[in-house]
Structure 1
Amino acid sequence: MTVSIDTRATQGPGEAPRLKKPSWKDPRLLIGLLLVLASTAGVVALLDSQDTTTEVYSARRDIPVGAAVSADDLVAVPVRLASSAGAYLPVSGGIPDGAVATRLVTEGELIPSAALGTADELDRKPVGLSVEDPLPTGTEAGDRVDVWVSLRTDTNTYEEPRLLLEAAEVAELTVGESALGGSASTLVQVLVDDGAMPELLNALSNDARIAVVLNPGAGS
């Protein structure tokens, strides 16, 4: 009697099924490749955007409120600002005609577009006050001061001092020098809004005594 034996390999009990080699036509493989390519492209685009520099203007020196802004006051600097680049004055756009600083811009600061305007847009204007008593060392533009006045009476005496301006911003500070080299009067440019301007000018025109006191606790 002839016995027929099947010589094909058989899977024994407990053996794991054999994995088939993936085909290029397998949709899961194609989707995976697309995801990898998309991720790589995103990373490259992000690195390219971070590498992009924009030229904007920076202040060459302190620019006080109300000062006209010209090319001599500015220097072009390349910076990486990404999405915030539009908030600063670009070199490509140039300096607007008749531009003045609407707030103090300090030396080395990037020029915000919002810090420039026209003289008509200023809600505060600088007024020069000469004071005999020197302000504390280190007082500078941007600090806050209280302005006190003592009005002259008909008998050439002075009334009690009263507070006229509280926490006025210093726009500029110029310390004078006497002939002997000692400190003389100090010219303090303070920013005054239109509402307080008449009273202050009236005090100045009537030879009132003016005292300027640093107010370190006032907010900017």
Structure 2
Amino acid sequence: MSVGTVTGGARLKKPSWKDPRLLIGVLLVLASVGGVISLVGAADQTAEAYTARESIAVGEKLTADKLNRVKVRLGDVEQYYLTPATGVPDGLVAVQRIGKDQLVPRGSFGQPDGLDRKPVAVTVDEALPAQAVAGSRVDVWVALPDSRNGFSQPTLLLPGAEIAQVTPGSTALGSARSTVVMVLVTDAQMPNLLGAQANKAKISVVWNPGGAGS
């Protein structure tokens, strides 16, 4: 027998569809592909939710034109956020500040009579610290006029008050531009602040990096 001759027993056979090993291999490939498809599908499960088109201040009314619809993956926490599926309730106002492009928590809005803080305009003559922006916390100090045409020792009136808004005030002749700071004040604190303003107290705002006061 020549070297080039191959015996019948050594010949390679084409695989048959009846070969159990081939069937098992096909099933494993299909299972693998199916698992990948399921994983990708689960990871791509998104839902529509609302974000704030612009910053929404405490006390501001909630309306659909102030919101954007976005696709997000909320998963199990979807129930805690406002979504187009549930709609925009009527007559609600913000009870906490919502920043621009932030998701809108359901607990951030309530009835107007349920507000425990109200914005009050405070005029400040000194330059504000750079950190004193909407949403940050500041301490509000007041110094009442004394009998010598000066001011008494400053006292801390509002510790850790939240800023709702900051806007430039008017410029008096020969004086620097003032700043109007809208601070959120509780009903219990309101009389002292309004009394200080009525008595033309000098009001100063100090950034409070520690957050809310006691």
Relative to the length of structure 1, the TM-score reads 0.72
> Match of 1:61, SS?
coil
Corresponding position of 2:91:
98
Over residues 1-32 of structure 1, what are the superposed CA-to-partner deviations in whole Å (9 max), with x where a residue is unaligned? xxxxxxxxxxxxxxxxxxxxx9xxxxxxxxxx
Corresponding position of 1:146:
139
Corresponding position of 1:74:
67
Indicate whether 1:64 and 2:57 are aligned: yes
Written as runs of structure 1 = structure 2, the 5 A alignment for 1:1-220 is 47-153=40-146, 157-176=150-169, 178=171, 184-218=177-211
CA shift in 2, pair 1:166/1:138, >3 Å: closer
Q: Which amino acid aligns with 1:84?
A: V
| Aligned-residue RMSD, C-alpha | 2.9
CA shift in 2, pair 1:183/1:95, >3 Å: farther
Deviation at 1:186, TM superposition (A): 0.6
**Percent identity at matched positions?**
46
Relative to the length of structure 2, the TM-score reads 0.74
Deviation at 1:215, TM superposition (A): 1.8
Q: Any stretches of 5+ residues in structure 2 without a counterpart?
A: 1-19, 21-26
Deviation at 1:132, TM superposition (A): 0.6
Deviation at 1:94, TM superposition (A): 1.9
Deviation at 1:196, TM superposition (A): 1.0
Corresponding position of 2:16:
none
Deviation at 1:43, TM superposition (A): 7.6
Deviation at 1:55, TM superposition (A): 1.0
Structure number with greater Rg is: 1
Deviation at 1:179, TM superposition (A): 8.7
d(CA) in 2 for partners of 1:189, 1:77: 31
Q: Which amino acid aligns with 2:56?
A: I
Deviation at 1:214, TM superposition (A): 1.5
Contact 2:131-2:207 at 8 Å conserved across structures: no
Over residues 50-72 of structure 1, what are the superposed CA-to-partner deviations in whole Å (9 max), with x where a residue is unaligned? 33321111011111112112223
> Match of 1:203, SS?
helix
